[in-house]
């Protein structure tokens, strides 16, 4: 009898101890933020527009081969570019066969009527098929492409479509496609009245006349450091703040860190706790990068995915476009891009500007005011001479295109058109020229 009483008393003490522990843990002041911190992070409020990977993958140039070694170029978001690319995405390509790159005379093919799309950094086929109707086999699907060329073969006037491997050694021909020779000619005719470009050794094109592009002044808004701190950390209240003498603010929870350059409004977030084992799929890493940006700052405008030339499985840059041209950062201003490192589907590094274009200016054409200036980007021999003067000796030009150089003002950014070259080593250089109307 006495043993039963002792047992009951012991059970009662255990129950009372558990109840007391519950109140100590979950009902002490401030305990709610600790118990619910992870749930609060998962449900973090979106602080910018969301996007899908399909909106981030598109050609940087659309080259129209008009036969007779005449060419013109359409750039993203222009009406001609959109019309042709929409038709292309509504078509289908299948039954791919693999060919050595040297098996075709590409100089001769380039002189025929056709359309060429370039993806400057190379895009994995498994991502490209999210935007285009492709039916790849396993070999093609595991590759990446940097060009698509569709032309009418002179010998039988039938269209042929080639997808160039970014590795540079093979091409894939789609032997089953819905485009007809008339479809190719219809789209080539759109470029007949465009500016003529001349093909240059190295694979880039030089316009024979200047391009008229306006300099635009656009209003800016900004994400705050406090917004990003709340958005990126499991428990923002547990972060420590360090102010460096150079104007950098650092926030850390002892594992992750957020550094903000207060002068340029540039942030760098690092998470060294990212996993180091598992399946490191490039497609999964890209999708993880896109979703991470969706949850942590969003996409204030149009961005294009660029694969890192050094490690295209985990390094990704998303370059911002204003209408047809990319915004290129300079040594004086980091603006117009985001950069992420993703390992095993987890973001280990995230860089972006806290400044962004206001929503009404991202979507609508910028009207020319009395203060607007038209920049004339030189073409022909004048442009060739500038390239010869400014490109370092020993460097080879891989691509040439218009771009915008940003300059910060008081609550605004001034976008000035310039020629941009991509060199063979993957670096970019802005060409200096001053011609205004």
DSSP codes, 279-335: ---HHHHHHHHHHHHHHTT---SEEEEEE-SS-TTTEEEEEEEETTEEB---SS---
How is residue 143 written in tokens? 């590759």
Closest CA to 274 of 261, 259, 289: 289
d(CA 246, CA 241): 15
Question: Residue 77: which domain range?
Answer: 58-194
Among 356, 379, 399, the domain-final residue is: 356
**Residue 247, in any domain of the structure:** yes
- Domain ends where: 328, 356, 384? 356
Give 33's DSSP letter: H
In terms of domains, do 121 and 234 share one? Answer: no
Per-residue confidence of the chain (437 residues) as pLDDT tens digits? 555 555 555 565 555 555 554 444 343 333 333 333 333 334 456 788 999 999 999 999 999 999 888 999 999 999 999 999 999 999 999 999 999 999 999 999 998 899 999 998 899 999 999 999 999 999 999 999 999 999 998 777 789 999 999 988 999 999 999 988 999 999 999 999 999 999 998 889 999 999 999 999 999 999 999 999 999 988 877 888 888 778 799 999 888 999 999 999 999 999 988 777 777 889 999 999 999 999 999 999 999 999 865 555 689 999 999 999 999 999 889 999 999 999 899 999 999 999 999 875 554 444 444 446 888 999 999 999 999 999 988 889 999 999 999 999 999 999 999 999 999 888 899 998 865 55
Any domain includes 289? yes
Same domain assignment for residues 233 and 125: no
3-state secondary structure 45-90: CCCCCCCCHHHCCCCCEEEEEECCCCEEEECCCCHHHHHHHHHHHH
pTM of the predicted model, to two decimals?
0.86
* CA distance to 207, 234, 401, per residue, from 36 (Å): 60, 9, 50
Q: Are residues 160 and 279 in the same domain?
A: no
Query: Do 271 and 389 share a domain, yes or no?
Result: no
Q: Is residue 153 domain-shared with residue 93, that is, in the same domain?
A: yes
CA angle, 51 then 53 then 57, to 5°: 115
Q: What is the DSSP letter of 422?
A: E
Q: Is 132 in the same domain as 252? A: no
Residues 384 and 349 in one domain: no
Q: How many domains does the chain have?
A: 3
Instruction: Note whether 66 and 176 are same-domain residues.
Output: yes
Q: Which of 356, 386, 421 is the endpoint of a domain?
A: 356
* Same domain, yes or no: 143 and 64: yes
């Amino acid at each position: 009898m006495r043993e039963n009483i002792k047992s009951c008393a012991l059970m009662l003490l255990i129950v009372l101890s558990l109840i007391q522990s519950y109140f100590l843990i979950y009902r002490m002041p401030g305990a709610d933020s600790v118990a619910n911190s992870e749930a609060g992070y998962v449900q973090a409020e979106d602080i910018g527009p969301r996007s899908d990977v399909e909106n981030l993958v598109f050609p940087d140039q659309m080259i129209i081969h008009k036969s007779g070694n005449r060419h013109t170029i359409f750039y993203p978001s222009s009406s001609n570019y959109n019309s042709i690319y929409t038709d292309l995405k509504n078509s289908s390509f299948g039954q791919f066969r693999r060919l050595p790159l040297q098996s075709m005379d590409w100089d001769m093919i380039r002189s025929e009527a056709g359309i060429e799309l370039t993806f400057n950094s190379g895009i994995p086929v498994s991502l490209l098929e999210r935007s285009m109707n492709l039916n790849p086999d396993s070999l093609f699907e595991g590759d990446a492409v940097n060009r698509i060329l569709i032309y009418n073969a002179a010998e039988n006037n039938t269209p042929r479509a080639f997808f160039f491997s970014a590795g540079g050694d093979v091409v894939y021909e789609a032997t089953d496609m819905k485009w007809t020779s008339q479809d190719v000619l219809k789209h080539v005719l759109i470029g007949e009245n465009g500016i003529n470009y001349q093909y240059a050794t190295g694979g880039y094109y030089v316009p024979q006349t200047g391009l008229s592009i306006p300099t635009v002044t656009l209003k800016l808004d900004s994400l705050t450091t406090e917004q990003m701190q709340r958005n990126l950390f499991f428990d923002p209240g547990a972060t420590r703040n360090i102010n460096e003498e150079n104007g950098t603010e650092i926030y850390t929870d002892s594992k992750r860190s957020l550094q903000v350059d207060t002068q340029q409004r540039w942030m760098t977030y690092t998470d060294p706790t990212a996993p180091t084992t598992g399946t490191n799929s490039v497609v999964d890493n890209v999708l993880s990068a896109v979703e991470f940006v969706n949850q942590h700052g969003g996409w204030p405008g149009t961005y294009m995915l660029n694969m890192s030339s050094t490690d295209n499985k985990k390094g990704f840059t998303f370059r911002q476009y204003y209408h047809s041209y990319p915004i290129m950062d300079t040594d004086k201003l980091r603006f117009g891009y985001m950069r992420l490192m993703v390992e095993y589907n987890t973001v280990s590094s995230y860089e972006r500007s806290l400044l962004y274009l206001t929503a009404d200016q991202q979507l609508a054409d910028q009207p020319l005011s009395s203060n607007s200036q038209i920049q004339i980007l030189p073409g022909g021999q004048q442009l060739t001479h500038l390239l010869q003067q400014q490109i370092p000796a020993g460097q080879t030009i891989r691509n040439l295109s218009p771009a915008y150089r940003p300059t910060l003002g008081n609550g605004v950014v001034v976008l000035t058109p310039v020629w941009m070259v991509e060199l063979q080593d993957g670096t970019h250089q802005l060409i200096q020229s001053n011609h205004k109307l």
